[in-house]
Amino acid sequence: MRYLPLAFDVQDRPCLLVGGGAVATRKARLLARAGARLTVVAPEITDELRQLIDDSDGQFFRATYHADFLDGAELVIAATADPAVNAEVSADAQERKLPVNAVDAPGLCSFTFPAIVERGPLSIGISSGGAAPVLAQRLRAQLEALLSPGIGALAELAMHVRDKVKTALPEPQRKDFWRWVFSGPVASKVEAGKTKEGEAALLAALANWRGEEGPAGEVYLVGGGPGDPDLLTFRALRLMQQADVVLYDRLVSPQVLDLVRRDAERIYVGKKKEFHSVPQDGINQLLVDLAGKGKKVLRLKGGDPFIFGRGGEEIDKLAEARIPFQVVPGITAASGCSTYAGIPLTHRDYAQSVRFITGHLKEGELELPWKELASPGQTLVFYMGLTGLSTICKQLISHGMPANTPVALVEKGTTREQRVVVGDLSSIPTLAEKKSVEAPALTIIGGVVSLHKKLRWYQP
């Protein structure tokens, strides 16, 4: 490691910036955000840079650089388009033992700017020492996705109450207390935007602190989407990395499951036709029991937890047991699979509404408002409808829907194994059998299906 990563306090300190173009403006933004007073030397400057100078109570000198401009500066940046000028600035600054950065010239720098991830008072710098700045920027983007936007608020809360904690607790207890704050319900509340509730919980715990409490249990009810891991939300990914144990369904793709924290315990609770590995009541109770033992429990579901996912039943049980929980929506299969198949669920020329329907047979019957479903100008999306496909088609035809209405079966939608079988109400049951379509498969019925060949963009 050639460059030692340090945090430099430039609040109200004079910083010299030589250059007035786009590159100099980018550096000035960083300095201004840290509260520096800007002194800029350049023949011309951008309008934004002029505003940054004014906002920082700084100075602008419309001039050619010379060494006297270094007087009083505590940090120097050379950001001109002339390598010779940048080299001169660097040499003069280093002769005076001033920290200096010359843009795109690591050999002229005594310090470099890292790629910065910022969350309030919390900042993370990623430096390659000027060797690979684009790689550092790529890593920054990955960290941006993993870090909760609310973690900055948590850092601000800690700063706000730090003196109170220091006064109330001796050193050993203080460390235990902060570990509890950053890994328990306080952190969950603040990161969810409930800062006042989080602060109240922190102060209540501080007033009664008798030592390190046991870990606080919580349940994360997360929608894993229809299969493609790229469709996960950032929040889902963060919680998947925090979980101690995960309960997952059959519809969660292996690629999504691979993103769960590697050392988390995994419990399969999936359901398929005529076989439930764990009954729903058992799943509900398992969530309560695991969280009651202080575990952070990830309940990972395919699609969205609240669209035919029985998520409402699970959080009802959690609320009854007073177990903290978070719910993260996921892209439901209807949206994900139809998009990857090139089938818009609504279209001005074909469908002005869309209905999501469960096609699951109950005791061999499928009781639905068939007359309403057979109405024109809408798209029907049947979840779990493969077993009852023949019944669905017959009922819709018998209630007035034309037999040539287009139908698509999307098997393993959004994954690399995706397959789309297209027919109409009269032919699709036979086609499904002939082509051995297997679950999970989504059934889409309506005029929008006719756009499949024209609009499809995803080729698994």
413 is in an annotated binding site: yes
Q: Does the annotation mark 281 as catalytic?
A: no
* Angle, helix 22-33 to helix 47-55, in steps of 10 degrees: 20
Letter for the amino acid at 295? K
Distance CA 276, CA 309 (A): 14
Which runs of E-coded beta strand occur in 225-364?
245-248, 265-268, 271-272, 275-276, 296-301, 325-328, 353-358
149 is in an annotated binding site: no
Distance CA 104, CA 84 (A): 13
* CA nearest neighbour of 199 among 181, 215, 218: 181
401 is in an annotated binding site: no
22 is in an annotated binding site: yes
Q: What separation in angstroms does the CA of 40 have from each of 11, 37, 64, 102, 110?
A: 17, 10, 11, 15, 20
307 is in an annotated binding site: yes
303 is in an annotated binding site: yes
167 is in an annotated binding site: no
43 is in an annotated binding site: yes
215 is in an annotated binding site: no
* CA nearest neighbour of 447 among 342, 338, 346, 334: 346
Q: Does the annotation mark 362 as catalytic?
A: no
Exposure string of 430-446, with b = 16+ CB inside 10 Å and e = fewer, is: ebbeeeebeebbbbbbb
DSSP three-state, residue 355: strand
> Do 166 and 174 form a contact (C-beta atoms < 8 A)?
yes
304 is in an annotated binding site: yes
Pair of tokens at residue 36: 């520096």
> Do 102 and 112 form a contact (C-beta atoms < 8 A)?
no
Which runs of E-coded beta strand occur in 216-273?
218-223, 245-248, 265-268, 271-272
Q: Which of 176, 271, 289, 394 is catalytic?
A: 271
Pair of tokens at residue 180: 């509890």
Distance CA 407, CA 421 (A): 8
Distance CA 429, CA 423 (A): 9
Whether omega before 440 lies within 30 degrees of 0, making that bond cis, reads yes
H-helix or E-strand spanning residue 159: helix 151-168
Residue 90: phi and psi, rounded to 5, are -60, -45
226 is in an annotated binding site: yes
Q: Which of 92, 244, 249, 424 is catalytic?
A: 249
Pair of tokens at residue 364: 């061999």
Binding residues for NAD(+): 22-23, 43-44
Binding residues for S-adenosyl-L-methionine: 226, 302-304, 307, 332-333, 384, 413
Catalytic machinery residues: 249, 271
Binding residues: 22-23, 43-44, 226, 302-304, 307, 332-333, 384, 413
